[in-house]
Structure 1
Amino acid sequence: MFESRPDRSDEVVLVGRSNVGKSTLMRELTGHKVPTGQKPGVTRQPNHFDWASEDFMFTDLPGFGYMQGVEDGHEEAIKTEVVRYIEEYADNIMLGVLVLDGKAAVDIIDRHSGEDEIPHVVELYYLLEELGIQPVVAVNKMDKVDDRDERLDDIGERLGLYPPWKQWQDVIAPITAKKGKITALEDAANNHFEAAKRDELKQFFS
């Protein structure tokens, strides 16, 4: 279903539900215009940004979850393709940035936490870990959250990261992409690049 991938070795992927602000964040990171919209599910194919002269690119993977005007089977197919893409290119993916809506994430996770059900975002987080991809959780739209620390503690806890969230600042990054406030994500990414002895990649998160 997904079209071909540019021939780049190192990659940072953005994943998450529809309408959490992945494309807005991508625009902040790359400085390039990215299609965004009020309607969930605007991104249906991976958006690859391989403009840099280095052997590196950002990829904005399609969101999953509710999409206006899209039949259920198609939503499921997109989620399957996202997982397949991550599995197939796991060796190339340096970071998996899981973007959450700070205001809605806890409710959405809890709503999908049944006896035999793992919420998709939690599943994705564990998938990244299992494949040896460093996950960074970009908790977006934090300007709309009043109880900031409590909310970040709750999100961390649902991902198996026990509070306080501040001990996980390499993994949990509170941001407001629309206002260009993404320093916490840049810091987390750069710490991982440093640990991996890949300082040349830090330019993409500065």
Structure 2
Amino acid sequence: MFEDRPDRQEVVLVGRSNVGKSTLMRELTGHSKFTTGKKPGVTRQPNHFDWAGDDFMFTDLPGFGFMSGVEEDRREEIKTAIVRYIESNADDILAGVLVVDGKSVVDIIDRHSGPDEIPHDVEMFHFLRELGIPVVVAVNKMDKVDDRDERLDDLCDRLGLMPPWKQWSDIVAPISAKRGNLDALEEALRTHFHEQKRDDLLKFVS
């Protein structure tokens, strides 16, 4: 379903529709071509943003999960295509950034947790880790969250990480993309680039 991928190493952004992935991508890259909007599901194909000569790109993958006005079969197709893309390119993915809405993610996870159901966010987190891809959970819209530490501790708990959240600074990154506050995410990506001997990419997250 997703074709014409440039042959480069990459950081992929994944997450539910409307959590602010495209806004985050715009802030990370300083590039304004990414379509953002109130309507979920605006991004239907991977958006690659690459730099000539650096063998590297950021990729914004389509949103998964519920999308208003999109039939369930189509939603499943999109999710399957995302999974296949990540599996096929795992060796070239330096990090997976799972973008979640800080205000609602814990409630959404709890609503979809049951005997026969794993919430998409939790499933994607463990899927990336099982493939050996370093994961950073970019907890977006934190400017709208009052009980910050409690909310982040609860999220860690749902992801199977022992709270407090502050011990997971290379995994949990509270941000506010709309306000340009990406410090925690950039710090986490710097750690993962360094560990993979790609210090030449640090300029993209400084």
Where on the TM-score scale, by shorter chain, does this alignment land: which range? Answer: over 0.9
Aligned equivalent of 2:157: 157
In angstroms, what is the RMSD of aligned CA positions? 0.8
Aligned equivalent of 2:29: 30
CA distance in 2 between partners of 1:83 and 1:107 (Å): 24
Is 1:3–2:7 an aligned residue pair? no
> What letter matches 2:23 in structure 1?
T
Contact 2:94 2:196 in 1 (8 A): no
* Partner deviation per Cα, 1:60-103 (whole Å, 9 max, x = no partner): 00001121221110001000100000000000000000000000
SS state at 2:138 partner: strand
Identity between Structure 1 and Structure 2 (%): 72
CA distance in 1 between partners of 2:174 and 2:181 (Å): 9
CA distance in 1 between partners of 2:197 and 2:4 (Å): 29
Is 1:65–2:61 an aligned residue pair? no
* Partner deviation per Cα, 1:155-187 (whole Å, 9 max, x = no partner): 111111111000001100000000000000000
Aligned equivalent of 1:81: 81
Contact 2:13 2:97 in 1 (8 A): yes
Deviation at 1:122, TM superposition (A): 0.6
SS state at 1:37 partner: coil
User: TM-score scaled by structure 2?
Assistant: 0.97
Deviation at 1:41, TM superposition (A): 0.7
Q: Runs of 4+ in structure 1 displaced over 3 angstroms?
A: none
User: TM-score scaled by structure 1?
Assistant: 0.97
Aligned equivalent of 1:102: 102
Mean Cα deviation higher: 145-154 or 51-60: 51-60
> What letter matches 1:22 in structure 2?
K
